[in-house]
Amino acid sequence: MESTTKLKDITVGQQNCKVFARVIRLWDAINTNPRYGNALISIDGILLDEDGCMAQISVPKKFEKQFCGLLSQGSAYIISNVAAIDIRSKSYVYRHQNYMLQFKQDTKVDLLHSRGADIPTLSLDFCPFYQLPQKAIDSKPLLDVIGVICDVGPYDYASQTSQHKFRKTKIRNLEEQTQELVLWGQHGESFDEETVLKKSQEGIVIAIFAGVTATLQRFTGMIQGSSSSATQIYLDLDIPKVQKYRTSYQWKCPTLQKHLPQVKQVSPLEAACKLYTIEEISNLPASSFQREEQPSALQSMWLPISSSMPNVQTSPYTNR
């Protein structure tokens, strides 16, 4: 029988790799702005082998029906005839290796029932808060972050005219530094706010946000975490890292409160006709000014004004 190759020994360009590992994560990579029909890009996941090494796998959309029923999160497999492709030009992928394993038409998946029992069902590679600015790049690498929940915002609209909704949360690290994360769509809606608020009355709540990206906010200069189709959220997970975090956290337990939605939706016409005061503009979320394929009514109102203003670098609304 042909032996398997360890994940750490695979190099970019290998076409017929055979690996033995557990699938510890699995998700649908989705195009959030599809032009036609099915938004699926690929079925992606993370493999973990006996040496503790991880690598991302990807099943292209055209092979979805062939493999979607053969892969299950938590199961161990021998996977044959996968190609190690370069990830340097890829967006929204983990960077555990310099390659990802892509399935082909002749890829073979063999489920193992007892072998691989010693491989953990979860492994995470946490990114410290201070490294997030280095990750706020166009390729949007996927990251795992951990911290004590110190604020849970409401599930609310991104702006007065937006149809997109999100929930902002904040976490603190062991140095009591705070990091904001934005949970879009289903991740914000399904976030168990009631459980978090209840648990916070008894002590700190430690959250893991796996599969997020880092984004530089143009108007504030702050680094913000953002959910993706790969995001998975764990609360008070029973793993050594969380246990160590709990015993090492020396600061006061954050007081969490329930927040109600604040954004009052208006029609594009109402937004375009509304006269905004400087105070109202300064209180609007940054998403109100971010360009999309079709500018919002507020952007349409603001851009002609800003184009006639002198390009003063100290202004937070200067076009760059």
Question: Looking at the domain assignment, is residue 58 inside a domain?
Answer: yes
Reference 77, options 17, 125, 29; nearest CA is 17
pLDDT reading at 197 higher than 80: yes
Contact 19, 4 (CB under 8 A): yes
Tell me: do 27 and 69 sit in the same domain.
Answer: yes
Residue percentage of the chain with pLDDT more than 90: 72
Co-location of 188 and 85 in the same domain: no
pLDDT at position 269? 64
Residues 149 and 104 in one domain: no
Whether residues 172 and 72 fall in one domain: no
Do 98 and 192 have their domain in common? no
| Number of domains forming the structure of the chain | 3
- The domain of 66 spans 7-112
Does some domain include residue 317? Answer: no
Q: Is residue 118 part of a domain?
A: no
pLDDT for 264 equals 81
Residue 237 belongs to some domain of the structure? yes
Question: Are 96 and 34 within one domain?
Answer: yes
Q: Are residues 236 and 136 in the same domain?
A: yes
Residue 320 lies in a domain: no
User: Of 199, 217, 248, which residue sits at a domain end?
Assistant: 248
pLDDT tens across 110-145, in order?
A: 999 999 999 999 999 999 999 999 999 999 999 999
Residue from 246, 242, 74 nearest 144 by CA? 242
Is 199 found in the same domain as 150? yes
Which of 199, 220, 248 represents a domain boundary (last residue)?
Answer: 248
Residue 297: the pLDDT is 42
Asked if the structure places residue 314 within a domain, the reply is: no
| In a shared domain, residues 231 and 143 | yes
What share of the chain has pLDDT > 70, as a percent? 82
Are residues 149 and 68 both part of a single domain? no
Q: Among 82, 112, 142, where does a domain finish?
A: 112
The answer to whether residues 139 and 233 belong to one domain is yes
Are residue 138 and residue 212 in the same domain, yes or no? yes
> What is the average pLDDT value for the chain, to the nearest integer?
87
Predicted local confidence at residue 293, as pLDDT? 43
Question: pLDDT, tens digit, for every residue of 15-52?
Answer: 999 999 999 999 999 887 766 667 899 999 999 999 99
Can you give the pLDDT at residue 53?
Answer: 97
**In the prediction, which pLDDT does 288 show?**
59
N-to-C CA span, the chain: 60
Neighbouring-strand partners of residue 226: 182, 213
- Computed from CA positions of residues 148, 154, 160, 161, in that sequence, does the dihedral angle turn out positive or negative? positive
Q: What angle do CA 161, 165, 168 make, to 5 degrees?
A: 120
Tens digits of residue pLDDT in 254-306: 999 999 888 887 766 666 666 667 766 666 666 555 554 444 444 444 444 44
Please indicate, yes or no, if residue 84 is contained in any of the structural domains: yes
Phi-psi map region of 146: left, alpha, beta (phi>0 left; psi -120 to 50 alpha): beta
Q: What is the CATH number of the domain that holds 161?
A: 2.40.50.140
Q: Bridge-partner residues for 83, per DSSP?
A: 102
**Which pLDDT score is estimated for 81?**
96
Q: Is residue 123 part of a domain?
A: no
Tokens for 48, please give them: 């973990």
pTM score over 0.85: no
Strand partners, 48: 22, 54
Lowest mean pLDDT among 58-62, 73-77, 284-288: 284-288
